Structures are given as C-alpha cells and as structure tokens.
Amino acid sequence: MKDYAFTVTHSMPGTLARAGVIHTPHGDIKTPVFTVGGTKATVKTLTPEMVKEMGGQAVLANTYHLMLRPGADIVEKAGGLAKFMHWDGPTFTDSGGFQVFSLGVAYKKGIDAVAHTEKGTSANAKSTSKQLAKVDDKGVTFRSHLDGQTLRMTPESSMQLQWQIGADIHMAFDECASPLASPKYLRESLDRTHAWAKRCVVEHERLWKEHEKLDKPYQALWGVVQGARNEKLRRESARYLASLDLDGYGIGGVFQPEEIPETVRWVAEELPEDKPRHLLGMGNQVSDLFLGVEYGIDTFDCIAFTRQARNGGIYTSTGRINITNAKFREDFTPIDADCDCYTCKNYTRAYINHLFRANEMLAYTLASIHNEYFVVHLVDTIRESIIDGTFLKYKATYLEKYFGKPFTI
C-alpha cells in the first residue's frame, strides 16, 4: 500500500501560490517548505536534533555522493537514510543528475546556478578532457572526484541506488543541460531526459513491487522538468512528465533569480495541480523563496545557507552581512534582534566575529544554526501568509525591509 499523498489546503487568489501537506511514511510535510540540505547524510556542522529544533521538516541527500561514500549498500544495511543519520522525519534524495552538469560541461569552467555566460570563454566553448562526466543516451560515465575511479550511472542504477538509500521521495535521473548549450543540444538533452524518466518509472515500479512484497514502505518518485530558458521546451517537458503520472515534479536547470517567475510559471501551468512541485537547488536569494512560492513552488532545497554561514555570510531581516567584518568586533547585540534562534538568543555579533577570527569551529555551528533557522522560519511564515490570505502584502513588506527599498523584478 502506498503511504504517500499530497493535498492542497489553501490557495492565494491572483497567484499560483498554495499551501498543502505531503504525507510520507516518515511523517507529514507542511508546504511550502524549505527542505534542509543534507548532501552526505549530514547537515554540515549541525546535528539532526538541531535541525529539528529549528523547525526543519525534511532533509535532502545526494545520491551521487552517497554512492561514492559510504556506499548505498552501507546505508541500506543501516536501515535506510533516516535511521543511518538519526533523523526521524521525511527524507528526499536527488538522482545524481545534476552531477552530469557540475562534473561535465560546467567542470572548472565557472558556470554555476546563476551564470549567463561562461567566465573567460565563449558561450560555444567545447567540452574538454578535464570533464569528469560524459553523457550518452544510455547513461553517464563518471570519474569520481575523490579518487578518479570510473563509475557508471543509468536511470535504472539511479533508481536502484535511491531505493537502497531509502528516502521517502526520489528524483528521476535527468540531464541538466548547460544554459550555454546550443538549441540542437538542448533538444537532444530534453529528449534524453524524457527517455530516462520513462526508464526510471519502469524500474521504480519494479522495485516497488519487490519492496511491497517485503512489507516495506513506499518511496515516491518525482520527475524533473528541464528545458533551460526556453518556454517551448519547458512546457513540453512539463506536459510529457505529467503524462507519466508521477508522484510529484522537480524543476531542474540553472537560471537567474529574475527568471524564476517566467520559468516556474511555464512549468506550473502545465503540471497537474494535485501534485507537489520542487525547485531544485534554488533559494539562496531571499527573493527566490517568495517568487518561487508565488508561481507555484511547494518545496525548495539549497545548501547555500550553511555554505555561506561557514564563510561568515549571515542572513538577517534587513539584509545579509559578513560577520567577520571589523565593525562587528565590539557589537554586543544579537545577529538579528527579530530572530528567535538559539544563536541569537544566546550570543552576540562580537562573540561570533571573534570565533571566526580565531578559526574556532563553533563559529560554523552558530552561524549555520542561525542561517538555517532564518530560511526555514521564513518559508514557514510565507506558508502562514497564504493560509491567512496576506501573502502579497507580506511579500511586499518583507522584501522592502530586507532590501531597504520596494522590491521589483
């Protein structure tokens, strides 16, 4: 029996924003929600108890990284991802598909999640032998970034790995094409992603039948919509994946924050309203969260908040600060007077500035607690504003305070 469902409970007139609940074997997820990044079965510098205390509802891990170490078989023997990492809530895994991009055409080229151009090269630059991933129609050949070992991943093996890892929600294996790719390659890549999605469905259903016989819980499969910054391709991809009747849908790709309204709207208008929508790897800008929700996103994931915390980048209700700056050495106020996180209730800017300057590891933990609380709590309040019908007013008020001026995009 499939112990999985999604229900929309509230919607916001004049927008695509909605609030709802995803039911999983490990508990319910109230949406919209920020899914905390636990790439290697850990949220860097934080314990699962800390993540739970700050309001985290779900954690997302990376299939590629767990495949390399400790290995999906080890996670399976431990009782699955949640038990292995001592997390008692819902879990997601991505498919490893983004590594096709980051280890392939983007490898050491300066193309990232918001790049429009490739640093130091032309937009038509060819692949180089330094790439660690090569794509063909059957799958992807990787060279491990750890030891150079040659590995192979296909839609079938991605499904097998994710079922071994045992998250509540999986992503179908896809190819994230470079935004700099030619129209011809984008067409080929989209066709490949759709063929892979169909293969994922077949293997997913086979694995579910095996697990059902053993009375193991259902693991949901979400497709990943691609198509770069092309409306025709995005809508086509959404329609095709909708035809596969998946449990939910991710929106993949790399694009600028100002492209979120158009890109997400194209997709949301084509996807079924009774299935959840996830914005993969986006949300490192506060405006991303509001815009994503406004145009139909239910779940987000992004590791930027903990990564920036470890480098001194701290989010506050009036903008982001660098806590290592000299001006904070004698600032004995909390990071954010409006924040109720453990860090803000117990420590000052001066103390955290000292920790960073002294290279103390506690700096990373306290900064990460604050940043993760900040983003989790912000999406929680966005959800509450949808429920009480004040979303558009809340968005305008919050972003004006955050940016110090009225927000427009």
Per-residue CA distances from 193 to 136, 188, 238 (Å) = 11, 9, 12
CA-nearest of 59, 70, 9 to 33 is: 59
Report the distance separating Cα 389 and Cα 367, nearest Å. Answer: 33
Backbone φ/ψ region at 255: left (φ over 0), alpha (ψ -120 to 50), beta: beta
349-375 as b/e, with b when 16 or more CB fall inside 10 Å?
bebbbebbeeeeeebbbbbbbbbbbbb
94 among known catalytic residues: yes
338 among known catalytic residues: no
CA pseudo-torsion sign 107, 149, 250, 387:
negative
Catalytic pick among 168, 288, 298, 301: 301
DSSP state of 26: T
Per-residue CA distances from 51 to 47, 58, 312, 355 (Å) = 7, 9, 19, 22
Report the distance separating Cα 41 and Cα 91, nearest Å. Answer: 10
Catalytic pick among 94, 168, 288, 336: 94
Report the distance separating Cα 228 and Cα 98, nearest Å. Answer: 13
Hey, which residues are catalytic here? 94, 301
